[in-house]
Amino acid sequence: MTASYRLSSLCITTSIFSSHGTRQMKVRLTGFGGLSTFIRPPLHRLKSTPCALSSSVLFSSSSPPASQSHQVPLFLRVPKYATPVSDLQKWYSWASDLAASVGSTFLVSDNGPDSSLLCRELRWLLEDALQEDIDPSLIHQVGVNSAQREVNLKTGIEDLYKLWIQRIEERRPFQYIVGCEHWRDLVLCVQEGVLIPRPETEIIIDLVADVISSNRVLKEGFWADLGTGSGAIAIGTARALGGCGTVIATDLSPVAVKVASFNVQRYGLQGVVEVREGSWFEPLKDVQGKLAGLVSNPPYIPSENIPGLQAEVGRHEPKLALDGGVDGMDHLLHLCQGAASMLRTGGFFALETNGEKQSKLILDYMEKEHRGTFYNAKAVPDFAGVLRFVTAFRV
């Protein structure tokens, strides 16, 4: 199953529990109080595209190869659609007006994007759709030369109209529109059926890096990322391990397995990250009791809270990756129980939760039901100071 996101009660990190903020993320610090903005400058395509596998090697057309059943990110497609600049300018003007018409309606309704954020997304969409050597500022140029000039787009102008209608009228997440999400120093393919990775989940990679820096022996052997989704945690963990060991990424969703496999290939980690299809520990029978580390961001939202999620999340992101059962604890407790038998002596365990109450419940569960099995169990805060992560070591 894929990772889930974020409703720590109605008053915690509500803004985090949203699909928007690909290149600049706003994180709500305290309930419905003030916002703190974590600025994430756009990753330049030349920097974010891995040297191991360039887009020119992976793709020879804008359509995915027959062996791929997932959406190719817009910025990786070949710019083969010749389009008059004047037509592009008309689209951009229309799209800007549509974004402006939203005002604060979505924000007030369910903490969705306001016009300012939508206009920013529109600029990003233009950047991704244009061939790399074209300055997006041409959209504001006027005159005969501009009107007669053509540019090559990575999707047709008709599709741009359709995509923006989907963004505004259907509240389709921007990441699904462009087919990717910026996460740490990665640009990951995402699509419907795969949860969009959020910034605070990056902390799991920081936790892994801290642990292996103080305990080098954990760099060797097997690690597992359960509910890998896009493969974000698995890829981040593999890079933190620096080429040592093997990361096994599991997911119940066939779509997630395909997308994660694509992302693993794109970063040249096929020999380090192994993606397996199946529920939680089922694909890991061959490494039972051998794991040096186990990490996961499972579904943890209480079922009753799913209908009240932001439209981008509740309507479009996979329920399989969100719904944690009646109290949101179903999968969290299952992972704690499984970790006891899967980890080797000294093995590391890191789990993302809904925050605060769930983290404390898990720590209580580990103390009562698995006394003597884990040591140094503790809750770790996220960017907003919410105790969102639980870590422990196997005795």
pLDDT band at 139 (very low <50, low <70, confident <90, very high): confident
Chain centre to alpha carbon of residue 174 = 12
pLDDT of residue 143: 61
Least confident range from 55-64, 142-151, 329-338: namely 55-64
pLDDT band at 145 (very low <50, low <70, confident <90, very high): low
Domain 199-394: which CATH number of 3.40.50.1820, 3.90.1640.10, 3.10.560.10, 3.40.50.150: 3.40.50.150
For the CA atoms of 316, 317, 318, 320, the dihedral, rounded to the nearest 10 degrees, stands at -130
Is 3 a residue whose pLDDT tops 80? no
Is 340 a residue whose pLDDT tops 50? yes
Is 11 a residue whose pLDDT tops 70? no
Q: 255-270: per-residue pLDDT in tens? A: 999 999 999 999 999 9
User: Rounded to the nearest 5°, which phi and psi values hold at 3?
Assistant: -65, 160
Q: 198-224: per-residue pLDDT in tens? A: 999 999 999 999 999 999 999 989 999
Separation between Cα atoms, residue 198 and residue 15, nearest integer Å:
11
Is 102 a residue whose pLDDT tops 90? yes
Least confident range from 2-11, 29-38, 139-148, 383-392: namely 29-38
What residue segments make up the domains of the chain, in order of their start? 74-177, 199-394
pLDDT of residue 201: 97
pLDDT of residue 142: 66
pLDDT of residue 141: 78
pLDDT of residue 6: 28
pLDDT of residue 17: 39
Separation between Cα atoms, residue 319 and residue 195, nearest integer Å:
9
pLDDT band at 16 (very low <50, low <70, confident <90, very high): very low
Query: At residue 50, what is the residue type?
Result: P
For the CA atoms of 302, 305, 307, 309, the dihedral, rounded to the nearest 10 degrees, stands at -110
